[in-house]
Structure 1
Amino acid sequence: MENVIYNLYGTEGCHLCDDAELLCQQLLNKDDYRNVDIVSDDTLVELYSTSIPVLEHIESHTALYWPFNLQQLQEFIRGTN
């Protein structure tokens, strides 16, 4: 059973997305988030193409937009739990 709490929106080959994932790996369990490539969804491209990477808390639809650092990510996670 999947227990995904967050979506990490980005694109393949995006170095900023890679940086955001490294931050997520420091604070979240692997099963808590999933990478979502926005290229396959026109709505996501429209929403996030100029903002990626974006970490979205799925249940509340709140989002943390890049740029963010480890402390900002920790505060976001704390605020969504």
Structure 2
Amino acid sequence: MAKVVLYHTDGCHLCEQAQALLQQHPDIEAIELRDIIDQPQWLEAYQIRIPVLALAHNPQAELGWPFDQQAISELIKQYGPN
């Protein structure tokens, strides 16, 4: 089971769609939500790319929107669930 990070911001309908997709994924055990407004480096890195999914144990392993269940599974398989 994987722990993931979702970079998002309030009022972002794509972020809400991404979160719902993650909540349905059978290989995800925990989702950490990081609002890009909370850290200047997150805002700089993701302001025009959100939502962005990253693996908690490997933040460089990330997916930018749009992604689907298959892409999430491939990311987890490629980089491992922990």
Q: TM-score, normalised by structure 1?
A: 0.83
Mapped partners of 1:5, 1:68: distance in 2: 17
One-letter amino acid of the counterpart of residue 76, structure 1:
L
Give 1:42's match in structure 2, choosing from 40, 43, 51: 40
Superposition CA RMSD, Å: 1.5
Mapped partners of 2:51, 2:35: distance in 1: 10
User: Which 5+ residue runs of structure 1 have no aligned equivalent?
Assistant: none
Mapped partners of 1:45, 1:73: distance in 2: 23
Structure number with the higher helix fraction is: 1
Q: Which residue of 2 aligns with 1:76?
A: 75
Give 1:14's match in structure 2, choosing from 5, 12, 15: 12
Q: Number of paired residues?
A: 76
Q: Which residue of 2 aligns with 1:65?
A: 64
Shift of 1:5: 2.5
Mapped partners of 2:69, 2:43: distance in 1: 25
Moved over 6 A (4+): none
Deviates more, 1:71-80 or 1:39-48: 71-80
Q: TM-score, normalised by structure 2?
A: 0.82
Mapped partners of 2:33, 2:69: distance in 1: 18
One-letter amino acid of the counterpart of residue 25, structure 1:
Q
Q: Identical aligned pairs, as a percentage?
A: 36
Mapped partners of 1:79, 1:53: distance in 2: 20
